[in-house]
Structure formats: C-alpha cells, structure tokens
Structure 1
Amino acid sequence: MTEIVFTKAYFTKSAPSIRECPPETGYEVAFAGRSNAGKSSAINALTNQKLARTSKTPGRTQLINFFNVSDTQRLVDLPGYGYAKVSRDQKEKWQRDLSEYLQKRQCLQGLILLMDIRHPLQEFDTTMLNWAIKGNMPVHILLTKADKLSRMQANNSLFAVQKQLKQANLHQLVSVQCFSSLKYTGLDELKAVLQSWLAPAATTVEESPIDAEAPKTQPQ
C-alpha cells in the first residue's frame, strides 16, 4: 500500500450543494464540526500548509471545499455548523445538504468529526453522528484543542466520550482520539485512519480515478 503524502494536497473545487460536487469517483473523507471546533486548523496541520481558510468569524465557510491528495483521493471540508450567525432558512439548507451528502455520496469512505475537547457531543454533533450511522458510514472523532487541558484532563474527556459511545452502542462504527493542531498531538493517529479509508487494501486506486485538476487558488 502506497503511503499518502498529505503535504501534496491542493484545492480543486468549492460546491454550494451536493449537486455541484465532483463526480462520484475515487475515494474521499469528509471533515465536519462546529464552526469553532478547529476544523480548518486540523486540515492545515495535516497538510502542513494553509490549505483551509481560517476565520476570526466562525461559520463563514458555507461551501463544500474539495482538496486532492492524489488523482484518486480527496479531503472534503464541510461547512461548519451550530454557530454561524445566518438565517434559519440558511441553516436548514446546510443541514439538508450535509445529511444528503453523508448518506448518499457513494465515494465517501468516512467522516472525521471534530469537537472541542472541552465541549464534546453537543446536540448537532450527535445529529451528525446519527446521519453518518444511518448511512453505515464510519466516523473518527477528533477531540480538538487538547493542548488547552492537562494530559489527565484530556484523557478523562476521552474516556467519557468513549463511555457515551459504548452506551449508545456506537463504538463499532465510531472511534475517537485527542488532537491538537497547535502541538500536532495525535497527528500520526489521524493519518493512519485516513490512510486506511483513502487507500482500501481490497481495491486498487486505478479502478476509480478522479478527474485530476491542476492546483487552483481557493476562492476568497
């Protein structure tokens, strides 16, 4: 199995809805989370570049952004949820689009769900989990901003989330880890999960190539 080089990732496309997404080819993994969970920072730490735009105003990203890491593998930055100061109609549209994407996108291999380690499993986090589970989609939770807590506090939060997942009988499809984009804590573990999803051992990547595009500049 060829090791994925995430530092080669580049922006390819922004889509306002699932209907404008790239063709259903190759493999992709989506990143989702509340608008202040540190999603863009995690993607930038993973790729070691300022690939995903960060903002002082959480919730400004309203598009589905696609990044190729190879001709057959993509990272997908989903719109942040739960914090943006937008209209109720707009929030409901985002929710419909996210639900449809998670349950109907055939090339989607898994969901990275980011949560602030100090405030995990908020209402919409569990909604996202339920959407993914309905689509039989594996989920890997990143408990972000672990550097804000002591190691003991971070581990206690991790164990508490693991306990809740087990009680809800979700532990078979959902895994969880601590993560810090500032100190790169948990980066290797994240890469291992992405490697297993984006390069399935049973399938050769040549079977379903992505229409490769030249690197572009992400729209402002």
Structure 2
Amino acid sequence: MDVHNVNIDISAVEPKQYPKNRYPEIALVGRSNVGKSSLTNVLINRNGYARTSNKPGKTQTLNFYNLDDKLFFVDIPGYGYAKISKAQQAKWGEMIETYLTTRKPLKGVVLLVDGRRAPTDDDLQMYEFLKYYEIPTLILATKMDKTPKSKWNKEVSLLNKSIDLRDGDEIQLFSAQSKYGKEQVWEWIENKTEVH
C-alpha cells in the first residue's frame, strides 16, 4: 500500500476515546525500544513521523495513526520497562488488555521482538495472550541489520523453537535501516484488512 496522508487522529487511554470511524486496525505491540516507531516510519515512507526515542516507556497512550482514511496503525505502549511504577504498569496493562480484547475493528497484531536474541518472557506471554484471544499475529524480528545475513536462518530457527506458533501466524525478519521485510509486512497487513 502506498500511503499518501498520515495523521495521528487520537491518543486514547479508554474505549470512549477510540476513533468512531470503523476503519480496520492493526496494532503494533512489543517491548520498549524494540522498534515500533521505526517500523511505522518505514511502512508509511516518512522519516521521523513516529518519534523514536532512546528513553523507553515514552509511549503512554494508544496512538491511532490514520492512513489515507482507510486503515489505522495503533501504537501500543511498550512493555517490560522496569523504571515505571507497578501501579503505572498495572494501568497500562489494563488499557492494553481492554483494547486488544474488545476492539472490533482490530484485524491483527504485529508483535515486534528483538531479532538479535531469544524472545523474552514478556514476549512469550504477549504471544500466548494473543493466541488465547485468537488475534492473528505477525511476529516481526527487528534490528536484523545488526545481525550478519549468514546467521538469519539461525535466528528464525531460534524463534520457531522458542515460540509455539499457531497455524496461520507467521514470522518475518525486518530491518528499518535496509527496509528488508517491508513488502512482506504490508502484504500481511493487506491480507488481514483487505485494504490496498
């Protein structure tokens, strides 16, 4: 999909703030600093539109990116960031769980994991949660530019061993720098949303 217009329509913390227009939605989920903003910028062909930060825990709301009045990307706060209080973590957890389990226009989730290492317990828990609620999931191994290509097959094999993949879910390698995997991610999104 070629994206022409992008707006952050809404930053929401509860259902009454979600967008009223029912475009299909794809949620981007992952640990803090795993590369959700970089992925968004590559997919929408904009440098720096989704702000990347060296400070984990920056995203604190559900950010709805409106793409051409056809589709929403929903940037979900990163998990696994230790420096926020337990109370704040619980609040975020509730906000994320409410969105993922009740939102009808949600068509799928891109779960970002750091491709340079084995998935964390948080990653595995998130995937089990998505599986339990039968939400179609693309597991995206990011930062692959930092791993020699000769080791990519090994990374995929490690992911396959670590994650009990449900039929229909997929693993895709991705590099924001080289844009490797961009077309495959769009293909997956288009299949789930029927937006082209």
User: Could you state the TM-score of these two structures normalised by the residue count of structure 2?
Assistant: 0.92
Checking the alignment, whether the CA contact within 8 Å between 1:34 and 1:115 is kept in structure 2 is yes
Gapped regions of structure 1 (runs ≥ 5): 202-220
Find the aligned partners of 1:134 and 1:154 in 2 and give their Cα distance.
Answer: 29
Equivalent runs, 1:70-219 vs 2, <5 Å = 70-83=68-81, 85-165=83-163, 168=164, 170-199=165-194
Provide Cα deviations, 1:152-209, integer angstroms capped at 9, x if missing partner. Answer: 22221112212333xx3x33142111100011111111111111122169xxxxxxxx
Q: Looking at both structures, which has the greater relative contact order when contacts are Cα pairs under 8 Å and sequence separation is at least 6?
A: 1
Out of 53, 56, 66, which is 1:55 matched to? 53
Find the aligned partners of 2:82 and 2:16 in 1 and give their Cα distance.
Answer: 23
What's the C-alpha RMSD, in Å, of the aligned pairs? 1.8
Is 2:41 aligned against 1:44?
A: yes
Task: Give the 3-state SS of the residue equivalent to 1:66 in structure 2.
Answer: strand
Find the aligned partners of 1:154 and 1:101 in 2 and give their Cα distance.
Answer: 33
1:7 Cα deviation after fit: 4.5
Find the aligned partners of 2:86 and 2:160 in 1 and give their Cα distance.
Answer: 32
Checking the alignment, whether the CA contact within 8 Å between 1:9 and 1:68 is kept in structure 2 is yes
Return the index of the structure with the highest Cα Rg: 1
Checking the alignment, whether the CA contact within 8 Å between 1:177 and 1:186 is kept in structure 2 is yes
1:84 Cα deviation after fit: 5.1
Find the aligned partners of 2:77 and 2:19 in 1 and give their Cα distance.
Answer: 16
Q: Structure 2: which amino acid aligns with 1:148?
A: K
Partner residue, 1:5: 2
Checking the alignment, whether the CA contact within 8 Å between 2:11 and 2:64 is kept in structure 1 is yes
- Greater shift in the superposed pair: 9-18 or 100-109: 9-18
Q: Structure 2: which amino acid aligns with 1:56?
A: N
Aligned length, in residue pairs: 195
Gapped regions of structure 2 (runs ≥ 5): none
- Greater shift in the superposed pair: 129-138 or 102-111: 129-138
